[in-house]
Amino acid sequence: MRIDLHTHSEVSDGTDTPSALVSAAVAAGLDVVALTDHDTTAGWDEAADAARRHGIALVPGAEISCRAAGTSVHLLSYLHDPHDAGLLAEAERTRAARADRARHIVARIAVDLDLTWEDVEAQMVPGTTVGRPHIADALVARGHVPDRAAAFASVLSTGSPYYVPHHAPDADVAVRLVLEAGGVPVLAHPSARARGHVVPDPVITHLTEVGLVGLEVHHRDHTPADRDRLTALAARHGLLVTGSSDYHGTGKPNRLGENLTAPHVLEQIEDLGSGRVVRP
C-alpha cells in the first residue's frame, strides 16, 4: 500500500485544486493521500468527493504554522475535528497574520520592484491561505525571477530586507490544540535545513512530553544522516515515523509518492484520531 501523508492544494500554497490533487495521486499510483493545507480545512469536502469518485483513500489533515525556540515549526494534524473552536480560532488568527505580513512584504518589495498587491491576488483563489509562495508566483509572473525557488533564494529569503515575520502559536500550544480537537500531531520535516533553522532535539523531546505523536522522517529535505538520527529519536520517545512528498503541484519539484508512510503507521494514526479516513 502506497501512502503519502503530506500534500497541498491551491487552498493554501499548492497549484492543484483539491480534486485535481486527488486525481494526480491516483495517477501516481497512491492508495492513500492526505490533504494538509496550511492552517485550513477548506479543501476537505472537495477532496473527499474526488477520493470517493476515484477509488482512493483520503486522510483529512492540515499543516499548522507554529514556533519553538525561535524556530519556525510546521505541525501536521490528522483526523481532527474541523469545527473545533480552539483550533479554528488559532488558525484564523494565523491566517490573518499571514495576510497582513504578505501585504507588508509586498509594500517593501514595491519600493524597488514593479509589484502590486493585485499581482499577488491574481495568483490566489478565493479563501486561499496567503503565503510567501503567492508573492513568489507574482514575482515570476512579473518576470523578476524565473521560478519560486529563485524567489525564495533571493527576494523572499529570511535574510532579505523585504522579509517580515508573522504570528504563529508556540509549538507546544499547537500540539495541545490539535489533541483537544481530536487530531494526531506529527512534526513536519524537523531537520529541513534548506528551510532555515532545524528543530533542536530538546524541543522535540519537550513536544513529546506535551503529546506529540510522530515525526515526519522521510522527506526530501532530510539527508540520510538526518533520517537516521530522527528514526533513532522517534524510537527513543515512542513516536510514529511517517514519510511523504510535501507535494505542491508545479510550485515545487516534490513529486507525489516520493516518500511513503508504512500502512501500520496509518492504522495507528486512524486509531488515535477522532475523525475517519475517507474511503471509497
User: What is the pLDDT at residue 106?
Assistant: 97
What is the set of domains in the chain, with CATH numbers? 99-153 (1.10.150.650)
pLDDT band per the 50, 70, 90 thresholds, residue 109: very high
* Residue whose cell numbers read 507588508: 104
- 3-class DSSP assignment, residue 237: helix
- Tell if the pTM clears 0.85, that is, is over it: yes
User: Which backbone phi and psi does 193 adopt, to 5 degrees?
Assistant: -60, -30
Task: List Cβ neighbours of 108 (8 Å cut-off, separation of 6 or more).
Answer: 161, 162, 164
pLDDT band per the 50, 70, 90 thresholds, residue 196: low
pLDDT digits (tens, 9 = 90+) for 219-260: 999 999 999 999 999 999 999 999 999 999 998 899 999 999
**Cα separations in angstroms, 212 against 32, 37, 206, 209:** 23, 19, 9, 7
DSSP-derived pairing of the beta strands 71-78 and 184-187: antiparallel
Which residues does residue 126 pair with via DSSP β-bridges, in sequence order?
none
Q: How far apart are CA 10 and CA 3, in angstroms?
A: 21
Lowest-pLDDT choice from 103-107, 117-121, 193-197, 209-213: 193-197
User: What is the pLDDT at residue 158?
Assistant: 84
Which segments within the chain are labelled E, that is strand?
A: 3-4, 32-35, 57-68, 71-78, 184-187, 214-218, 240-243
pLDDT digits (tens, 9 = 90+) for 31-89: 999 999 999 999 999 999 999 999 999 999 999 999 988 788 999 999 999 999 999 99
